[in-house]
Amino acid sequence: GDKAFAQFLTDEIKEEKKIQKHKSLPKVSGGWELEVHGTEAKLVRKIAGEKITVTFNINNSIPPSDEDDTQEEQKPDEQEPELTSTPNFVVEVIKDDTKQTLVLDCHYPEDEIGHEGEEESDIFTIREVSFQPTGEADWKDTNYTLNTDSLDWALYDHLMDFLADRGVDNTFADELIELSTALEHQEYIKFLEDLKSFVKCQ
């Protein structure tokens, strides 16, 4: 059984490498620096007196398909390239002269359609906003977190503009999907390779 499994994995890896779009990870325009730690990626950009970081994790970032089997492996090959990774991402804006960090929790809506007519142009939405103490590893649940569900639209639009002014706009969000999808695929291939070595190990 293990031999057949290893053979299957070998073929699968070959197929996946064939459809792999990016041999190296695509860059995000606008002077963002990328750091990758396993499945977590961080983009950092510094502009006058501010540091902006965007963090996302590719785990569970592929929306489940409509079929009952959401396992990637069970899909016919021709459907594979369709998989796109749309991870939630967290934007932190740190101003040099304050001890606080503004944290905006963003995500890609599954249906891609905004709540109101005018919002359809945005491919991502802000879910939550809070202030956190700069430099502390653990964020406090005691800090007020603003949920955008019940937010005044004018305030919401200003928050979106605030992000856009710092380079987090639709173009960025598109490139993030591209980067995340490439990273996810790369990790998936690596996982298959590790699985193959594990299965073959006596």
Distance CA 44, CA 46 (A): 7
- Does residue 115 have a pLDDT over 60? no
CB 25 within 8 A of CB 183: yes
User: What CATH number is associated with residue 46?
Assistant: 3.10.280.10
In a domain, 75, yes or no: no
Q: What is the pTM of this model?
A: 0.83
In a domain, 51, yes or no: yes
What's the confidence (pLDDT) of residue 117?
A: 43
In a domain, 66, yes or no: no
Distance CA 168, CA 187 (A): 25
In a domain, 67, yes or no: no
Pairing of strands 100-107, 89-95: antiparallel
CB 94 within 8 A of CB 53: yes
Mean pLDDT value of segment 121-135? 89
pLDDT digits (tens, 9 = 90+) for 49-88: 999 999 999 999 988 765 544 444 444 444 444 689 999 9
In a domain, 77, yes or no: no
In a domain, 35, yes or no: yes
Length of the chain: 202
pLDDT digits (tens, 9 = 90+) for 135-162: 766 666 778 899 999 889 999 999 999 9
* CA neighbours closer than 13 Å in the CB half-sphere of residue 121: 6
Share of the chain above pLDDT 90, in %: 63
What's the confidence (pLDDT) of residue 46?
A: 94
198 φ/ψ sector (left φ>0, alpha ψ -120 to 50, else beta): alpha
**How many domains are there within the chain?**
1
Mean pLDDT value of segment 91-98? 90
* CA neighbours closer than 13 Å in the CB half-sphere of residue 98: 11
| Strand ranges for 32-122 from DSSP E | 33-37, 40-47, 50-57, 89-95, 100-107
pLDDT digits (tens, 9 = 90+) for 2-12: 899 999 999 99
**Which residues fall within 8 angstroms of residue 200, CB to CB, at 6 or more apart?**
2, 6
Structural domain span for residue 109: 1-59+83-113+120-200
In a domain, 106, yes or no: yes
**Residue 164 CB neighbours (<10 A):** 14
pLDDT digits (tens, 9 = 90+) for 163-192: 999 999 999 999 999 999 999 999 999 999
In a domain, 69, yes or no: no
Mean pLDDT of the chain: 85
